[in-house]
């Protein structure tokens, strides 16, 4: 069973350019309060410079998957 998300290909879609989805926002326009989470979950701050944190995080899983697939995942 393949559970990987598959993008729908729209054959007749016309793309006229490569531009941002929305304009840049100033710091005051960005949401300052956290989104609420379901009971039992909490927000956390991770130090992504710590190799142990990276290895055990979702980012580490993506890194190992995409690096092994030779697909660019982050620039």
pLDDT of residue 45: 86
pTM over 0.75: no
Residue 75 clears pLDDT 50, i.e. is over it: no
Each residue's pLDDT tens digit, 21-43 = 888 999 999 988 989 999 999 98
User: Of residues 8 and 26, which shows the higher confidence score?
Assistant: 26
The DSSP string of 1-45 is ---S--PPP-TT--------SS----GGGS--SPPP--TT-----
């Amino acid at each position: 069973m393949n559970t990987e998300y598959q993008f729908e290909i729209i054959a007749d879609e016309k793309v006229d350019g490569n531009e941002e989805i929305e304009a840049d926002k100033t710091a005051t326009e960005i949401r300052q309060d956290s989104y609420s989470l379901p009971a039992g979950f909490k927000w956390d701050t991770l130090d992504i410079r710590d190799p142990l944190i990276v290895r055990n995080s979702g980012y580490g899983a993506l890194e190992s998957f995409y690096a092994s697939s030779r697909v660019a995942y982050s620039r």
